[in-house]
């Protein structure tokens, strides 16, 4: 689907640079810190390894209002699948239910394997129902 809207007209502008320290070994005893050799404080400084900062800045009309342009973008929007969404939710909830059932089985002194099976089954059914509802009510 093509979506058309008004957006600010911008131009890429160099705002400056961020300098960085540079370290080099000059011997076994010490490290030499080189901040800005030869007075270069911009991105051309090979020792400071500065990084230029570029950002999109809006352009303005003579009255000071932002200049707008019409932009068209193509978006792809698809509804959730009524087959895969319940399966994914059911699998995740089944694992969580199995772990919860095993912990409850251990805490109550009953068979943790039986608790895990019951918990996994209940979790998978609940997750599948929720996943189906989530996919069925999804609107694009």
More confident residue, 138 or 32: 138
pLDDT surpasses 50 at 120: yes
Model pLDDT for residues 36-76, shown as the tens digit of each residue: 555 544 444 455 556 678 899 999 999 999 999 999 999 98
Comparing CA positions, the residue from 55, 60, 57 lying closest to residue 16 is 55
Rounded to an integer, the average pLDDT of 117-136 is: 94
Instruction: Name the token pair of 77.
Output: 């929007």
* Tokens, residue 117: 């099976």
Taking the chain, what is the end-to-end CA distance rounded to the nearest angstrom?
A: 11
**pLDDT at residue 16, rounded to an integer:** 79
Q: What's the DSSP call for residue 37?
A: G
Cα separation, 123 vs 140, whole angstroms: 28
Q: 30-47, pLDDT tens digit by residue?
A: 544 555 555 544 444 455
Residue 74, pLDDT score: 94
Report domain extents, the chain. Answer: 2-74, 84-136
Q: How far apart are CA 120 and CA 109, in angstroms?
A: 19
Which helix H or strand E contains 33, and what residues bound it? Answer: strand 31-34
How far is 59 from 7, CA to CA, in rounded Å?
11
Name the pTM for this structure.
Answer: 0.48
Per DSSP bridges, beta strands 68-74 and 2-8 are: antiparallel
């Amino acid at each position: 689907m093509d979506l058309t809207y008004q957006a600010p007209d911008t131009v890429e502008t160099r705002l400056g640079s961020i300098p960085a320290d540079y370290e080099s070994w000059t011997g076994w005893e010490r490290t030499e810190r080189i901040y800005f050799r030869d007075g270069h404080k911009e991105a051309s400084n090979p020792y400071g390894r500065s990084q230029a900062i570029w950002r999109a800045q809006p352009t303005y009309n003579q009255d000071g209002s932002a200049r707008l342009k019409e932009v068209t973008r193509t978006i792809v929007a698809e509804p959730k699948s009524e087959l895969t969404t319940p399966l994914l939710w059911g699998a995740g909830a089944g694992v969580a239910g199995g772990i919860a059932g095993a912990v409850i089985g251990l805490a109550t002194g009953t068979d943790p394997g039986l608790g895990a099976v019951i918990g996994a089954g209940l979790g998978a059914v609940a997750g599948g129902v929720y996943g189906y509802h989530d996919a069925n009510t999804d609107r694009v």
